[in-house]
Amino acid sequence: MRAVLLSGGGGGARFARGVAGVLGDDDLTVVGNVGDDVEILGLHVSPDLDSLLYTLGGLIDAERGWGRSEESWNALESAAAWGGEDWFRLGDRDIGLHLVRTALLREGRPLSEAFAYLADRLGVGVRLLPATDDRLRTFLETPEGELDFQTWFVRRRHADRVLGVRFDGAEAARPAPGVLDAVADADTVFLAPSNPFVSIGPILAVPGLREAVAARREHVAAVSPIVAGEAVRGPLAGMLSSLGHEPTAVGVARLYVDVAGTFVLDEGDAALAPEVEALGLRAVVAPVVMIDPEMREDVGRAVLEAVR
Amino acid sequence: MRAVLLSGGGGGARFARGVAGVLGDDDLTVVGNVGDDVEILGLHVSPDLDSLLYTLGGLIDAERGWGRSEESWNALESAAAWGGEDWFRLGDRDIGLHLVRTALLREGRPLSEAFAYLADRLGVGVRLLPATDDRLRTFLETPEGELDFQTWFVRRRHADRVLGVRFDGAEAARPAPGVLDAVADADTVFLAPSNPFVSIGPILAVPGLREAVAARREHVAAVSPIVAGEAVRGPLAGMLSSLGHEPTAVGVARLYVDVAGTFVLDEGDAALAPEVEALGLRAVVAPVVMIDPEMREDVGRAVLEAVR
């Protein structure tokens, strides 16, 4: 069975590992969000794809949830002393990756090639594709004006109420090579338990991608990022409300009605299954939270079996 | 008394500190070599000017003789694991500087402005100027073909016999703003005890600079990089021989006949004074080696008094 997973960072990356653990690395293609990519200190940083790479390659700092384990912070501390920006936390080992990737991009190699190279270097068999090689950036409309994603998320700690989301560059973006074929050929396409607005949204905003996923709707399973009524991490609950949606798994399911035929609810939200079904989605209940690394394969297996 | 010092890295930087300790920071302008600047992992590195900055600012690793004290090496180790080059040793704290400087240069700011900013940031009162803001790079002719400076010096550990030296870009280079004025206005212009071919040579190769220094010849004192018959560090003795010069302080003095009126010999080479004078240079004897940081000011004072 071949699967495609559309994914943001953190929760999506952990889910990717669970699915890869069941299917085998070679049968999974992950399409990652680039809307939160950012240039910091002249380095091209791809936070979501890096989290996928680090998680699938076993380098992630599991406790922190981002960046590398056994990290040090001397380069950033030094850069700050020289007047460089340090609000976006880059560890020394992490910077090693960004230096190599940025050099590849400056040579003119597309992001997809850079990630194919990096994944291969790390021995990650999962195919890791950016949604697009073109420039696509997420901006948030807030009462303070429009903010780029990382300014909103990291610098201002997602404290600003989100009134709208815009994907700059989306109109001109093309799916990265291999993305449309992978979606067309997959037995199952998963939408990871990531934020639908700023993780999955920028992927589906690439022209042709939403249509390609919608064309496979009966084989598409969206996994709820809301677990037992709570967003596991981050600003999702607030965004659902401020953008006029119900702040529950049902509110998320409604966002995916046109692209997904199946919606995977956490066991804690099982009572919402009838409401999800009423939207025209098949509701499937599975343990979605993946706090414990030991549980990842079980969860992957449960979800895979549930959607079969 | 105002002084200008033309300088490479290591020995020149230690001499700069000695002179600054006597004159006061505000009365010294250091014109640094950019011929060994190099782009590594996408970072613009200025090894000689950085050594000057680190030495004058008290950040240098005195034992190693280059780079920063209390350094770690995680970013480079990581970059190497991702396939990046690691033959040029960049520590984490050092990389912090390179990130900030490279970002300034990419914004279009000239190297001289970047160094003025960095020196100010560090509280270094000595004026630190690159010889030129334009691209000038040192290449060595060797039996293995022409090698760029850092490939020859670091990567191949200056093992290749040097048959010629070329300064790529020199014809089109202009002195950085302030350099010619500083030379014209100085009471004394020092040529630091640096390598005459690859440290002082690239500075004097900037059109107009050699002429400006030569015009002040009676106020120019070259400090011997050869001490008691030995090059203190590095490949100087071998280069003097392979390039057809006498491998002694006299051989160095001969290279400076047109630009310097005074040549400062180490006490261990005092016997060579008559030979130096026979070249038409005033010979001055002073303790040139500056191994002991405590001695730096004494040395600076001795040289300054000697050339008065």
Whether A246 has a pLDDT exceeding 90, the answer reads yes
- Output the pLDDT for position B145: 98
Q: Which two tokens stand for residue A217?
A: 């709707």
Å between B43 CA and nearest CA of chain A: 8
Among candidates B79, B94, B96 on the partner chain, residue whose Cβ is nearest the Cβ of A96: B79
Give ipTM to 2 decimals.
0.93
- What is the C-alpha to C-alpha distance for residues A97 and B78, in angstroms, rounded to an integer? 7
pLDDT in tens, B54-109: 999 999 998 898 999 999 999 999 999 999 999 999 999 999 999 999 999 999 99
Q: How many CA atoms lie within 13 A of A169 on its CB side?
A: 19
Mean pLDDT value of segment B103-122: 97
Mean pLDDT value of segment A56-70: 93
B218 and chain A in contact, CB less than 8 A: no
- Output the pLDDT for position B294: 58
Are A281 and A262 in contact by the 8 Å Cβ rule? The answer is yes
Are A245 and A215 in contact by the 8 Å Cβ rule? The answer is no
Q: Which of A35, A37, A50, A304 is nearest to A187 (CA)?
A: A304
Q: How confident is the model at residue B12 (pLDDT cuts 50, 70, 90)?
A: very high
Q: Which two tokens stand for residue B204?
A: 């004097």
* A103 contacts in chain B (CB < 8 Å): 41-42, 84
Contact A84 B99 (CB under 8 A): yes
Comparing A18 with A175, which gets the higher pLDDT? A175
Among candidates A92, A101, A118 on the partner chain, residue whose Cβ is nearest the Cβ of B75: A92
- Please, which residues have CB within 8 angstroms of residue A156's CB and are 6 or more apart in sequence? A147
Mutate which: A50, A99, A104, A121, vs B, most B CBs within 10 A: A99
Q: Which of B260, B283, B264, B263 is nearest to B273 (CA)?
A: B283
B21 and chain A in contact, CB less than 8 A: no
Contact A42 B106 (CB under 8 A): yes
Q: Which two tokens stand for residue A82?
A: 């020289």
- What is the C-alpha to C-alpha distance for residues B253 and B237, in angstroms, rounded to an integer? 14
Among candidates A84, A92, A121 on the partner chain, residue whose Cβ is nearest the Cβ of B74: A92
Work out the burial of residue B229: count CB atoms within 10 Å of its CB; fewer than 13 is exposed, 13-18 middle, 19 or more buried: middle
Task: Provide DSSP, chain A.
Answer: --EEEEE-SHHHHHHHHHHHHHH-GGGEEEEE--TT-EEETTEEE-HHHHHHHHHHHT-B-TTTSSSBSS---HHHHHHHHTT---SS---HHHHHHHHHHHHHHHTT--HHHHHHHHHHHHT--SEEEESBSS--EEEEEETTEEEEHHIIIIITTT-SPP-EEEEETGGG--BPTTHHHHHHH-SEEEEPSS-IIIIIHHHHTSTTHHHHHHTTGGGEEEEPSEETTEESSSSHHHHHHHTTS-SSHHHHHHHTTTT-SEEEEEGGGGGGHHHHHHTT-EEEEE-----SGGGHHHHHHHHHHHH-
Mean model confidence pLDDT for chain B: 93
A1 and chain B in contact, CB less than 8 A: no
Among candidates B42, B92, B97 on the partner chain, residue whose Cβ is nearest the Cβ of A106: B42
Comparing B232 with B111, which gets the higher pLDDT? B111
| Residues of chain B numbered 37-66 and touching chain A (CB < 8 Å) | 41-43
The amino acid that residue A144 corresponds to is E
Contact B42 A93 (CB under 8 A): no
Residue in chain B lying closest to A85 (CA): B100
Strand partners, B40: B43
Q: Which of B227, B261, B273 is nearest to B247 (CA)?
A: B227
Contact B74 A76 (CB under 8 A): no
Contact B96 A76 (CB under 8 A): yes
- Output the pLDDT for position A289: 63
Q: Specify the range with the lowest mean pLDDT, choosing from A113-127, A288-302, B159-173, B224-238.
A: A288-302
Are B168 and B136 in contact by the 8 Å Cβ rule? The answer is yes
Contact A81 B94 (CB under 8 A): no
- Output the pLDDT for position A193: 92
Q: How many CB atoms lie within 10 A of CB B167?
A: 20
Q: What percent of chain B has pLDDT over 90?
A: 83
Q: How confident is the model at residue B295 (pLDDT cuts 50, 70, 90)?
A: low
Å between A195 CA and nearest CA of chain B: 30
- What is the C-alpha to C-alpha distance for residues B202 and B37, in angstroms, rounded to an integer? 11
Consecutive H or E run containing B11: helix B10-23
Q: Specify the range with the lowest mean pLDDT, choosing from A10-19, A124-133, B34-43.
A: A10-19
Q: Which two tokens stand for residue A132?
A: 């697009």
Q: How confident is the model at residue A228 (pLDDT cuts 50, 70, 90)?
A: confident
Whether A1 has a pLDDT exceeding 90, the answer reads no
A108 and chain B in contact, CB less than 8 A: no
**SS3 of B32, please?**
strand
Å between A71 CA and nearest CA of chain B: 8
Residue in chain B lying closest to A84 (CA): B100
**SS3 of B137, please?**
strand
* B68 contacts in chain A (CB < 8 Å): 78
Task: Provide DSSP, A11-53.
Answer: HHHHHHHHHHHHH-GGGEEEEE--TT-EEETTEEE-HHHHHHH
Whether B164 has a pLDDT exceeding 70, the answer reads yes
Q: Which two tokens stand for residue A25?
A: 């690395």
Where in chain A are the domains?
3-141+168-307
Contact A72 B72 (CB under 8 A): yes
- Output the pLDDT for position B304: 78
Among candidates A78, A118, A121 on the partner chain, residue whose Cβ is nearest the Cβ of B93: A78
Mean pLDDT value of segment B257-278: 95
Residue in chain A lying closest to B114 (CA): A82
Q: How confident is the model at residue A133 (pLDDT cuts 50, 70, 90)?
A: very high
B89 and chain A in contact, CB less than 8 A: no
Residue in chain A lying closest to B59 (CA): A78
Strand partners, B226: B231
Comparing A132 with B266, which gets the higher pLDDT? A132
- What is the C-alpha to C-alpha distance for residues A202 and A136, in angstroms, rounded to an integer? 8
- The alpha-helical segments, DSSP class H, found in B201-272 are 201-204, 209-214, 236-242, 249-255
Mean pLDDT value of segment B238-242: 95
Consecutive H or E run containing B76: helix B74-81
Whether B260 has a pLDDT exceeding 60, the answer reads yes
Among candidates A42, A80, A117 on the partner chain, residue whose Cβ is nearest the Cβ of B103: A42
* A101 contacts in chain B (CB < 8 Å): 82
- Output the pLDDT for position B28: 97
| Residues of chain A numbered 236-295 and touching chain B (CB < 8 Å) | none
A95 and chain B in contact, CB less than 8 A: yes
- What is the C-alpha to C-alpha distance for residues A293 and A76, in angstroms, rounded to an integer? 30
- What is the C-alpha to C-alpha distance for residues B176 and B49, in angstroms, rounded to an integer? 14
* Cα A100–Cα A101–Cα A106 angle in degrees, nearest 5: 100
Work out the burial of residue B61: count CB atoms within 10 Å of its CB; fewer than 13 is exposed, 13-18 middle, 19 or more buried: middle
User: Residue-wise over A285-297: b if at least 16 C-beta within 10 A, else e?
Assistant: bbebbbeeeeebb
Residue in chain A lying closest to B80 (CA): A96
pLDDT in tens, B120-142: 999 999 999 999 999 999 999 99
Q: Which two tokens stand for residue B120?
A: 């100010």
Question: First-to-last CA distance in chain B?
Answer: 10
A104 and chain B in contact, CB less than 8 A: no
- Output the pLDDT for position B293: 56
- Please, which residues have CB within 8 angstroms of residue B299's CB and are 6 or more apart in sequence? B15, B18, B286, B287, B288, B289, B290
Whether A293 has a pLDDT exceeding 60, the answer reads no
CATH architecture of B3-141+168-307: 3-Layer(aba) Sandwich (3.40)
Whether B186 has a pLDDT exceeding 90, the answer reads yes
- Output the pLDDT for position B227: 85
Mean pLDDT value of segment B280-298: 74
Whether B290 has a pLDDT exceeding 60, the answer reads no
